[in-house]
Amino acid sequence: MIIGNPGIYDSKGNFNSFAIQIDKILDTDNFSVNLCIDMNIYPTQLAYNKASYLIDYFNPKLEIFSNINDELFYLDDRDLMINLMAKGFGYIYAIEELIKDHKINYQEFIDNEDVFFEKLNVTKQNGEVNPYLWEIDYMEYVNKGIYPFVINSSSGLSKVIVVFNKNRSCDLDYIEDRLLLSNTRLSQSVGFFDERFWGVKVSCVKSDELNLIINKVYSVLSNAS
């Protein structure tokens, strides 16, 4: 079931670029919940969990659906991505800073992990909780390199942002994948949150339309819980 418009014109000529795909997994109490932006699915695999677990992240009363930050909202996509990852993902942000300053590479990490972590420890890390992170299902999203966010503006518009790792393997963690890229592509520029590893997809929708989508998903999960 697709709730919203994933990026096509409907029969009335209306266009949107955000939807949520939600489906019951056969004869279980599990539901798959994936985000759809411009006909792209995030995550690419079925992200599923029990309805009783998922419902907490689609409660229309969550602050994430009402928090307003015009300063963030009007940043361009990649600046928005970097600002969002700096809040609540200090560990990842610190690794990106080491790469930017050419202070770490894959071979050094393999030869002596202690050196890597010593450098990481002296990098200032922001440990604050990110109020714009839409957790949904941490294991199925964040742990697999998919970071969903919601930013609202005072103009009645909202942005759903999906930051994602392009070259992350399911059987390797973020550090190995990220540093392996920096090692194998020395002939190319691999820098701070570069586009070879980091991707971002943004959908700007009316806040009322986003709330309608969230309410419908919440209703589906409520009826199944």
Q: How far apart are CA 175 and CA 101, in angstroms?
A: 16
Question: Which is higher by pLDDT, 153 or 99?
Answer: 153
Report whether 149 contacts 164 (CB < 8 A).
Answer: no
Q: Which range has the top average pLDDT, 15-19, 20-24, 89-93, 110-114?
A: 20-24
Is pLDDT above 70 for 187? no
User: What is the pLDDT, as a whole number, of residue 118?
Assistant: 84
The domain of 217 spans 2-223
pLDDT tens figures, 67-120: 999 999 999 999 999 999 998 888 889 889 888 887 877 777 778 888 888 888
Indicate the pLDDT class of residue 19, thresholds 50, 70 and 90: very high
Q: Is 24 helix (H, G, I), strand (E, B) or coil?
A: strand
Q: Is 159 helix (H, G, I), strand (E, B) or coil?
A: strand
CA distances from 220 to 23, 178, 225 (A): 10, 38, 9
Cis, bond preceding 43 (omega within 30 deg of 0): yes
pLDDT tens figures, 119-137: 888 776 666 779 999 999 9
User: Which sign, positive or negative, has the C-alpha torsion 188, 191, 197, 203?
Assistant: negative
Residue type, 130: N
User: What is the pLDDT, as a whole number, of residue 7?
Assistant: 65
Indicate the pLDDT class of residue 10, thresholds 50, 70 and 90: low
Residue 215 structure tokens: 């309410």
Is pLDDT above 90 for 208? yes
Q: How far apart are CA 116 and CA 14, in angstroms?
A: 51
Report whether 157 contacts 205 (CB < 8 A).
Answer: yes
Contacts of 21 (CB under 8 A, 6+ apart): 1, 2, 3, 6, 32, 33, 34, 35, 36, 41
User: What is the pLDDT, as a whole number, of residue 179?
Assistant: 79
Whole-model pTM? 0.89
Structural domains in the chain (count): 1
